[in-house]
Amino acid sequence: MSISIEFPDGSKKPFDDGVNVLDVAKSISTSLGKKAIAGKFNGELVDLDRPLKQDGKLAILTNQDADALVVLNDTAAFILAAVLKQTYPKMHFGEGHSTADGFFYDTDNADGQVTVNDLSTLKEKMMKLVKANGEIKRVLVSKETLLKEFAGDPYKESLINAEAGVEVPAFQLGDFIDFGYRALLKKAGEAKVFDLLSVAGAYWQGKSSNPMLQRIYGTAFYKQADLDADLKRRSEIKERDHRTLGRELDLFFVDPKVGAGLPYWMPNGATIRRTIERYIIDREVAAGYEHVYTPVLANLDLYKQSGHWDHYRDDMFPPMDMGDGEMLELRPMNCPSHIQIYQHHLRSYRELPIRIAELGMMHRYEKSGALSGLQRVREMTLNDGHTFVRPDQIQDEFKNILKLMMSVYDDFDITDYTFRLSYRDPQNTEKYFDDDEMWNKSQAMLKGAMDDLGLDYYEAEGEAAFYGPKLDVQTKTALGNDETLSTIQLDFMMPEKFHLVYTGEDGEEHRPVMIHRGVISTMERFIAYLTEIYKGAFPTWLAPTQVDIIPVNLDLHVKYAETIQKQLLAEGIRVKIDKRNEKMGYKIREAQTQKIPYTIVVGDQEVEDATVSVRPYSAEKAEREDLNVFLDAVVAEVHNYSRTGKKNKAEAKLDK
RNA sequence: GCCGCUUUAGCUCAGCAGGUAGAGCAUCACCAUGGUAAGGUGGGGGUCGCCGGUUCAAAUCCGGCAAGCGGCUCCA
């Protein structure tokens, strides 16, 4: 019997049934046989020993392929486990494998958990094992044998029992055996470039009701230079972290003595925030939204009616008992407030869509372990809006919102994001509003709208709100954690619960649909995000101080500096004169470390011919410019929401 | 909330075989009046996160709590 293997270049070759991947690689060329790390057979990662028993497409992976890194990191995880087993014979093991940027292994040790202090010893032992360069063999073993191998280990036992079939494909190095990998390197010595990074708790199988294991994180590469670069990248994350920059640039602080998760905005941060708030209100008003103000406190009944109390009680501040039977609640969400606005008048079908928006302050009692700088706080101001539409207006309104969102991203130079369609979890429907037809219909509606617009997205089950599916715009923080930047949520439930109606053309009452949407998230989270993507160098229109004027000589040039300041202030530019009794170099250094967009120096030459010496942030040197030219350029830049004077392009893109 | 680690001056950090604290930057004063990334000298500033225990004596050892950090869970 022979099988036909197709290669990436489209060519096909016959092989004996049961030929292994390595032999196929060798048959192509000796060098490929040497370089081969694993294969990809019909899209599935396979190790070199794997016998091929059917026709299919095969790609031989070398260390140039991205998937080869998966094999390497899986191998590193395997070697770590081998060392752990040898070091702590009583240790129990959870899962362990490669991740997007490294590998991990979950452990549970009765005689004291592994801590960061143990990592260097473990690393040394791994190095030793790697140097011994033993062969890693693929073996098929019975579940029985594996169960004996991991006797007394409840986690491994459950993993073994979860395997399909009687025999489990496993890998063996010396007398250590482990399973759950698709492909590993053939020689332990090939996994010599790695590092152990950290230890963190992780629930067994990701369930918080399960015991917590210790997860050991590491990363591995084929070349030392790649590892060095990666370690450097990890250490540079701190320079981009909004908490570090927030302190350095004096944007905000959180002081546990006056309240964990309750940020204080310093003048610099407040300036950025105010600028963004004015911007987004203007954009939304221009897009047909009516901005309102509603109270941060409401009768608890409001949240009982909306369902928030039922679903999120644990994450809400406890109600205030006013003593006369009234219970007041710090609002955790604005939607019920905007529903009150809608209900305050009788609504006609002619008015819809009605778009209500607010920079609404909310309070949520986030768990202490979840708090993080401005990214997770207990008091936040949400760029919130609710549009009330007729069912036939849903798709159009969805597109309107999306258009606004992308246009706003353009003004902030936000380019790194993905769309996620968030559906309910079909395995766990009791968490959600109970109406199968509604879910199926609205999920299909969202998908249809995205397909219509030709936008790429991925689908995620279990990420919906309890009242409806949503489109989330996902991005990443400096640390690489996922974060929702914007969201559009379809809601058929709240209108039901609050008996919302409008009078139709037929004179009858009809139920509107609510669309919840947030364009720039909360002010807190958005500014944290911007701080990270700009690395603290805010574009001119957002920068707390836009121009810093440094007079060469305090006696001779301050007057001219003040004339310039007056002119800039008249144009609404945020400008400061550095009148401190310090040397120029000192002031320039500080202006640069504070990432002020423009530092201008004025001395005799500038006074004489009405110029300024301009040094933009991060520029190596200054250039002299006519004062009026500089002024016009800065003003234009601020109006274009940028530092480069470019115009918004997203609107044109979607405006078809 | 859970696991691990951490908490000393405004910031970054040192001190920790137990004897009530140091550096650099910042701040203040004085000198220097300087043309594009830190000029010099001097001064002030901390009940060492909080509470309790061991001890003649605790920043240092032990326990509890809180907060921060890295994750996990959660995130309307």
Per-residue model confidence (pLDDT) at position A62 = 93
Same domain, A338 and A439: yes
CATH code, domain with A13: 3.10.20.30
From CA A336, how far away is CA A338, in angstroms rounded? Answer: 5
Sign of the Cα torsion A576, A581, A583, A589 reads: negative
The answer on A207 and A271 residing in a single domain is: no
Q: pLDDT tens digit string along A418-463? A: 999 999 998 888 888 888 999 999 999 999 999 999 999 999 999 9
CATH assignment of the domain containing A577:
3.40.50.800
Residue A257 sits in the same domain as residue A133: no
Q: What is the pLDDT of residues A18-65, one digit of tens each?
A: 899 999 999 999 999 999 999 999 989 999 999 999 999 999 999 999
> In this structure, is residue A73 part of a structural domain?
yes
Rounded CA–C1' distance between A479 and B50, in angstroms? 31
Q: How far apart are CA A566 and CA A126, in angstroms?
A: 66
Rounded average pLDDT over A96-122 = 90
Residues A83 and A174 in one domain: yes
Kindly state whether residue A649 falls inside one of the protein's structural domains: no
Note the helical H segments in A59-118.
66-87
Closest residue to B72 (CA to C1') is: A202
pLDDT of residue A646: 52
Least confidently predicted of A109-118, A355-364, A522-531: A109-118
- Asked if residue A256 and residue A205 are part of one domain, the reply reads no
Of A102-106, A146-150, A186-190, A477-481, the poorest mean pLDDT is in A477-481
Terminal C-alpha separation, chain A:
58
Which are the contacts of A64, defined by CB distance < 8 A and separation ≥ 6?
none
Which amino acid is present at A207?
K
CA A245 – CA A248 distance, rounded (Å): 5
Q: Are A465 and A433 in contact (CB under 8 A)?
A: no
Averaged pLDDT for residues A592-615:
96
- The answer to whether residues A496 and A390 belong to one domain is yes
What is the overall mean pLDDT for chain A?
93
> Which CATH number covers residue A112?
3.30.980.10
Instruction: Based on the fold, state whether residues A52 and A80 are members of the same structural domain.
Output: no
Confirm if A176 and A82 have CB atoms less than 8 A apart: yes
Residue A646 lies in a domain: no
pLDDT band at A641; cut points 50, 70, 90: confident
Residue A540 in any domain: the answer is no
Mean pLDDT across the stretch A135-156? 94
pLDDT band at residue A115, thresholds of 50, 70 and 90?
Answer: confident
Per the structure, the residue whose CA is closest to nucleotide B76 at C1' is A465
Would you say the C-beta of A317 is within 7 Å of strand B?
no
Residue labelled with tokens 């969202």: A446
CA(A196)–C1'(B63) in Å? 32
Q: What is the pLDDT of residue A428?
A: 84
pLDDT beyond 50 at A655? no
- Mean pLDDT, range A316-334, rounded to an integer: 94
A569 and A608: one domain? yes
The structural domain count of chain A equals 4
In tens, the pLDDT along A514-531 reads 999 999 999 999 999 999
Radius of gyration of chain A (CA): 31
For residue A486, say whether its CB is under 7 Å from any atom of strand B: no
Is A245 among the domain residues? no
A429 or A390: which carries more pLDDT confidence?
A390
Closest CA to A191 of A200, A181, A205, A199: A181
- Interatomic distance A483 CA / B48 C1' (Å): 38
CATH code assigned at A360: 3.30.930.10
Averaged pLDDT, A316-333: 94
Could you give the ipTM of this predicted complex?
0.95
Same domain membership, residue A274 and residue A423: yes
**Is position A401 within any domain?**
yes
Residue A635 CA to residue A545 CA, distance in Å, equals 14
DSSP secondary structure, A160-183, as one string = HHHSSSSEEEEEEETTEEEE--S-
HSE-up of residue A196 (Cα within 13 Å, Cβ side): 25
Residue A650's pLDDT band (cuts 50, 70, 90): low
A592 touches strand B (CB under 7 A): yes
- Give the pLDDT confidence score for residue A649 in this predicted structure: 54
Instruction: Assess if residue A51 is contained within a domain.
Output: yes
The first and second tokens of residue A578, run together, are 């550095």
Residues A342 and A482 in one domain: yes
Statement: the CB of A583 is under 7 Å from strand B? yes
The single-letter code of the amino acid at A642 is S
Average pLDDT over residues A191-210: 95
- The reply to whether the CB atom of residue A198 sits less than 7 A from any atom in nucleic acid chain B is yes
A371 CA, B30 C1': Å apart: 47
Q: How far apart are CA A400 and CA A396, in angstroms?
A: 6
Give domain status of residue A74, yes or no: yes
Please identify which residue in the block is written with the tokens 């790649």. A226
% of chain A exceeding 70 in pLDDT: 98
Is A237 within 8 Å of A250 (Cβ atoms)? no
Measured at the CA of A647, the angle between CA A282 and CA A529, to 5 degrees, comes to: 65
Tokens found for residue A18: 């049961």
Same domain, A226 and A293: no
Q: What is the pLDDT of residues A4-20, one digit of tens each?
A: 999 999 889 999 998 99
pLDDT at A643: 52
Helical pair A66-87 and A119-132, crossing angle rounded to 10 deg: 110
Domain that holds residue A139: 67-231
Nucleotides of B under 7 A from a protein CB: 1-5, 11-12, 31-39, 66-76
Handedness of CA A285, A289, A295, A296 (dihedral sign): negative
pLDDT of amino acid A656: 40
| Minimum CA–C1' distance nucleotide for A238 | B69
Domain identity same for A218 and A87: yes
